[in-house]
């Protein structure tokens, strides 16, 4: 789908994609709760609507009714700016990711770079929230977040460089096109492709603060980390951003490593993209509900001592591969 | 000063060895220096500029196991000094015991260690029996032992779940292990409900025996439940023990020096995980423990992982012991005294004190009771002191925390398994 006027195109498509993503995110919370319930031998939400399907709506309504607290000693401007900014930063990544052939808000020729650059901006609202809350737990959470982002950003970039080199383009739709016909970068080149995907996936988990890297939040240590002082819908926005980020990770990974809409049979692209994205999405839930949390220094040691050399090796390998094969 | 130093024989010979004088005798400093950090560090002196952050963790905190308050002096995230503040759950149980008669105290002490009420009841009633000289019939002793062992499994299951929470938080892998251990604990609570009518605060032990006999079919049910838990323990081992993150978080964290632990009076799994082979069930048998062989699992690691291994091994051992005892419960009365009708039914006619101790899931749970010889007060203890193992385990915290970051402190605290109800009483 496309319009001739780029403004109309961006607005219409952006509105559709953003809202669909928000809807998926809302229902992913329902799904995750059901999924976690099954993992923990309990039913999950069952009360609101059939199979608890209206639970996300009830959750949001409840959050909106909560008292909106701003601590007296908080830096009010930054404190109130942080939650919407997290959502804004995460949503803007969606602009460069194609969900089907032609379904892309802005097909930038530096799409991957844009996505990664905007994604790494995500640490600023978190740090803002931690600093502006004027709470010791929040401050520690913000500190951890900053330290963590410095550690994982480089391996993340390196792992995303592998598909860029293989496809010879920064444009995400080009990267997907290069994989058409089953040449998925996760499986081709065999071995290193999968390693690059795993590296990308783990670093993205760290970026979105999911278990086992949810160190800035760490509710058993830092009460709730950066979101300790937030209540009501501001807290809800942090949660929304986290889930949205997880969804976008799955989308990006599906596009960069699993051939996007490529798949057997005639289709318009949505089906395969949805299947791949949701599979990765469920994988993230699965990891979340089976692992504990790393310590911050362990995460950093892992990033610097293992991920970074691995990322460099993968980049060199893919350069050689492109040159030789 | 210089003359004295130069006159000392070894002062100049051993370079690199620092000497000091203690009571006129010269000893190397390294012999005096303890292997653990100084818990009484003077923060003002250490940090004259006031750059350190003081964080009051608790009493409202998700991972302080109740209402413990820990004052942490932090340099970044590294703890420099740790001071636990107790007393937020102080309910004056010991003072209350001086106002209640012997038969009225049992339901009160149920609430001390609220994770294993059975062993509390057993501990206090053993002391009362020793004080008033009451015999316990063999059947009652068997029931007590079975209850204590089942309770140990339940208590350690709860510990395993909350330990997972400490490491992973309620939303995540920690929550998964928590939910599963609580599912199993539920089965044990059902067992106790069938036996005593209560799920938590049983009031089943009494001076001279038990109040509730084993109902028909209970033994078979209990054996079945213990078998189920035994197989599910294997699942947890798969889930937790070989979990990379679990290992990364526990191995080498919170090392407890056995010497320090003994000095502080630590007992139970924490001490056994440091390689000290002490278990009151085997060393001074009470109830029916003299009739059964108890294997005491020990580990030499001394870290959180060793404590996890010891507790899991203890669960298996308790399941074995309880199953074995359930097969051979002797017939007979369950109480040597007549059923209690009035609070003053049990009397101690002398003012001597007795101390008895049992091995509760957390260690040596001792009771020191002094009788009241005065005629009008003879049904009421003069003094009742409860020595709780959690209290002593918690004393380790100021020694374990310095040098670690907050994440490790939470895990260390969790691995000590303090129950604040028992610490504060």
Q: Is A43 part of any domain?
A: no
Q: B59 contacts in A (CB within 8 Å)?
A: none
Q: Is A172 part of any domain?
A: yes
Q: Does A288 touch chain B (CB under 8 A)?
A: yes
pLDDT at residue B22 tops 70: no
Give the model's pLDDT for residue B6: 42
Q: Which residue has the higher pLDDT, A8 or B188?
A: B188
Contact B316, B152 (CB under 8 A): no
- Mean model confidence pLDDT for chain A: 85
Between chains, do A294 and B63 touch, taking CB under 8 Å as contact?
A: no
Determine the residue among A221, A235, A288 to mutate to test chain B binding: the one whose Cβ has the most chain B Cβ atoms within 10 Å.
A221
Residues of B within an 8 Å Cβ radius of A: 53, 55, 61-63, 76-77, 164-176, 179-180, 183, 239, 243, 245-246, 248-249, 405-408, 410
- Could you read off the pLDDT of B198-242 as tens digits, one per residue? 888 888 888 888 888 888 889 899 999 999 999 988 888 888 888
Q: Does A38 touch chain B (CB under 8 A)?
A: no
Give the model's pLDDT for residue B199: 87
Pick the most confident of B58-62, B63-67, B224-228: B224-228
Give the model's pLDDT for residue B229: 92
Q: How far is CA B97 from CA A186, B107, B131, B371, B391, in A?
A: 69, 11, 15, 12, 19
Q: B407 contacts in A (CB within 8 Å)?
A: 218, 221, 293, 295-296
Rounded to the nearest angstrom, the minimum Cα separation between A285 and chain B is 9
Q: Where do the DSSP E strands lie in B58-166?
A: 69-75, 78-85
- Residue of A194, A160, A149 lying closest to A299 (CA atoms): A149
ipTM of the complex: 0.82
Q: Does A219 touch chain B (CB under 8 A)?
A: yes
Per-residue pLDDT, averaged over B287-307, amounts to: 87
Contact A176, A255 (CB under 8 A): yes
Q: Is A3 part of any domain?
A: no
Q: B173 contacts in A (CB within 8 Å)?
A: 211-212, 288-292
- Mean model confidence pLDDT for chain B: 84
Q: Is A135 part of any domain?
A: yes
pLDDT band at B33 (very low <50, low <70, confident <90, very high): low
Give the model's pLDDT for residue B156: 92
Give the model's pLDDT for residue B145: 92
Contact B104, B345 (CB under 8 A): no
Per-residue pLDDT, averaged over A51-80, amounts to: 88
Rounded to the nearest angstrom, the minimum Cα separation between B245 and chain A is 6
CA distance B394 to B416: 7
Nearest CA in chain B to A221: B407
Joined tokens for residue A97: 């990711």
Among B53, B77, B179, select the one facing A42 at the smallest CB separation.
B179
Between chains, do B168 and A298 touch, taking CB under 8 Å as contact?
A: no
Q: B179 contacts in A (CB within 8 Å)?
A: 40-42
3-state secondary structure of B126: helix
pLDDT at residue A129 tops 60: yes
Among A143, A223, A289, select the one facing B172 at the smallest CB separation.
A289
Q: Is A283 part of any domain?
A: yes
- Could you read off the pLDDT of B357-398 as tens digits, one per residue? 999 998 899 999 998 888 777 888 888 899 999 989 888 888
Task: Give residues with Cβ within 8 angstroms of B156, minimum separation 6.
Answer: B311, B312, B314, B315, B318, B361
Contact A134, A75 (CB under 8 A): yes
Which structural domain, as residue segments, surrounds residue A154? 73-324
pLDDT at residue B31 tops 80: no
Q: Which contiguous run of DSSP H or E holds residue B414?
A: helix B406-416
Has this prediction a pTM greater than 0.80?
Answer: yes
- Could you read off the pLDDT of B155-201 as tens digits, one per residue? 999 998 888 888 877 777 778 888 889 888 999 999 999 988 888 88
Q: B53 contacts in A (CB within 8 Å)?
A: 136
Task: Give chain A's domain count.
Answer: 1
DSSP B237-260: IIIIIT-HHHHHHHTTSS---HHH
Q: B405 contacts in A (CB within 8 Å)?
A: 295-297
Domains within chain B, CATH numbers bracketed: 2-85 (no CATH), 93-424 (1.10.645.10)
Give the model's pLDDT for residue B319: 92
Q: Is A27 part of any domain?
A: no
pLDDT band at B16 (very low <50, low <70, confident <90, very high): low
Q: Is A83 part of any domain?
A: yes
Rounded to the nearest angstrom, the minimum Cα separation between A218 and chain B is 7
Q: A221 contacts in B (CB within 8 Å)?
A: 63, 406-407, 410
pLDDT at residue B4 tops 70: no
| DSSP bridge partners of A103 | A100
Q: A222 contacts in B (CB within 8 Å)?
A: 406
Give the model's pLDDT for residue B368: 92
pLDDT at residue B30 tops 60: no
CA distance B415 to B305: 8
pLDDT band at B28 (very low <50, low <70, confident <90, very high): low
Q: Is A136 part of any domain?
A: yes
- Could you read off the pLDDT of A187-243 as tens digits, one per residue? 777 778 888 889 998 888 888 888 788 887 777 778 888 888 888 888 888 888 888
């Amino acid at each position: 789908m496309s319009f001739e006027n780029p403004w109309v195109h961006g607005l219409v498509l952006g509105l559709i994609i953003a809202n669909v993503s928000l809807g998926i995110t809302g229902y992913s919370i329902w799904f995750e709760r059901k999924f976690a319930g099954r993992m923990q031998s309990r039913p999950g939400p069952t009360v609101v609507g059939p199979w608890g399907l209206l639970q996300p709506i009830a959750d949001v309504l409840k959050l909106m009714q909560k008292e909106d607290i701003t601590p007296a000693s908080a830096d009010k401007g930054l404190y109130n700016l942080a939650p919407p900014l997290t959502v804004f930063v995460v949503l803007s990544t969606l602009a460069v990711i194609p969900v089907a052939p032609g379904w892309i808000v802005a097909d930038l020729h530096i799409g991957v770079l844009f996505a990664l650059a905007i994604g790494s901006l995500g640490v600023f609202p978190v740090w803002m929230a931690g600093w502006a809350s004027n709470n010791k737990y929040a401050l520690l959470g913000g500190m951890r977040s900053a330290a963590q982002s410095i550690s994982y950003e480089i391996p993340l970039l390196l792992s995303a460089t592998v598909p860029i080199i293989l496809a010879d383009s920064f444009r995400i739709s080009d990267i997907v096109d290069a994989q058409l016909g089953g040449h998925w970068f996760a499986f081709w080149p065999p071995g290193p492709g999968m390693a690059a995907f795993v590296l990308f996936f783990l670093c993205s988990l760290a970026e979105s603060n999911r278990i086992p890297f949810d160190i800035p939040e760490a509710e058993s240590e830092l009460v709730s980390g950066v979101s300790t002082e937030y209540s009501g819908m501001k807290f809800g926005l942090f949660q929304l951003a986290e889930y949205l980020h997880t969804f976008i990770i799955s989308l990006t990974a599906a596009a960069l490593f699993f051939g996007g809409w490529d798949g057997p049979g005639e289709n318009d692209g949505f089906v395969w993209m949805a299947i791949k994205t949701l599979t990765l999405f469920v994988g993230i839930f699965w990891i979340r509900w089976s692992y504990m949390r790393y310590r911050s220094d362990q995460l950093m040691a892992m990033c610097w001592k293992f991920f970074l050399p691995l990322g460099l090796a993968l980049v060199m390998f893919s350069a050689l591969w492109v040159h030789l094969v | 000063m210089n003359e004295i130093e130069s006159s000392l024989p070894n002062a100049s010979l051993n370079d690199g060895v620092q000497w000091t004088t203690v009571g006129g005798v010269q000893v190397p400093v390294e012999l005096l220096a303890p292997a653990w950090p100084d818990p009484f560090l003077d923060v003002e002196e250490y940090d004259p500029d006031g750059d350190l952050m003081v964080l009051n963790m608790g009493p409202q905190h998700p991972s302080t196991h109740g209402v413990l308050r820990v004052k942490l002096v932090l340099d970044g995230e590294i703890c420099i000094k740790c001071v636990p503040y107790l007393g937020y759950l102080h309910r004056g149980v010991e003072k209350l015991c001086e106002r209640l008669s012997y038969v009225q105290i049992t339901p009160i002490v149920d609430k001390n260690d609220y994770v294993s009420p059975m062993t509390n009841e057993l501990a206090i009633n053993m002391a009362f029996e020793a004080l008033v000289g009451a015999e316990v019939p063999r059947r009652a002793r068997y029931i007590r032992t079975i209850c204590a062992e089942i309770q140990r499994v339940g208590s350690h299951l709860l510990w395993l779940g909350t330990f997972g929470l400490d490491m992973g938080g309620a939303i995540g892998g920690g929550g998964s292990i928590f939910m599963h251990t609580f599912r199993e604990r539920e089965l044990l609570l059902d067992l106790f409900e069938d036996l005593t009518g209560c799920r938590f605060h049983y009031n089943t032990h009494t001076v001279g025996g038990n109040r509730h006999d084993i109902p028909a079919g209970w033994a078979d049910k209990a054996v079945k439940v213990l078998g189920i838990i035994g197989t599910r323990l294997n699942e947890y081992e798969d889930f937790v023990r070989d979990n990379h993150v679990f290992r990364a978080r526990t191995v080498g964290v919170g090392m407890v020096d056995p010497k320090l632990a003994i000095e502080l009076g630590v007992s139970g799994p924490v001490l056994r995980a440091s390689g000290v082979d002490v278990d009151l069930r085997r060393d001074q048998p009470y109830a029916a423990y003299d009739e059964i062989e108890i294997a005491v699992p020990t580990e030499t690691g001394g870290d959180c992982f060793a404590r996890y291994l010891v507790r899991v091994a203890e669960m298996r051992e308790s399941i074995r012991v309880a199953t074995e005892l359930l097969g051979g419960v002797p017939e007979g009365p369950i109480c040597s005294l007549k059923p209690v009708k009035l609070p003053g039914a049990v009397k101690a006619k002398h003012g001597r004190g007795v101390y008895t101790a049992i091995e509760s899931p957390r260690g040596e749970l001792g009771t020191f009771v002094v009788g009241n010889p005065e005629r009008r007060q003879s049904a009421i203890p003069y003094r009742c002191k409860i020595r709780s193992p959690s209290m002593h385990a918690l004393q380790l915290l100021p020694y374990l925390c310095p040098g670690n970051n907050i994440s490790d402190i939470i895990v260390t605290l969790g691995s000590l398994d303090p129950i604040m109800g028992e610490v504060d009483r």
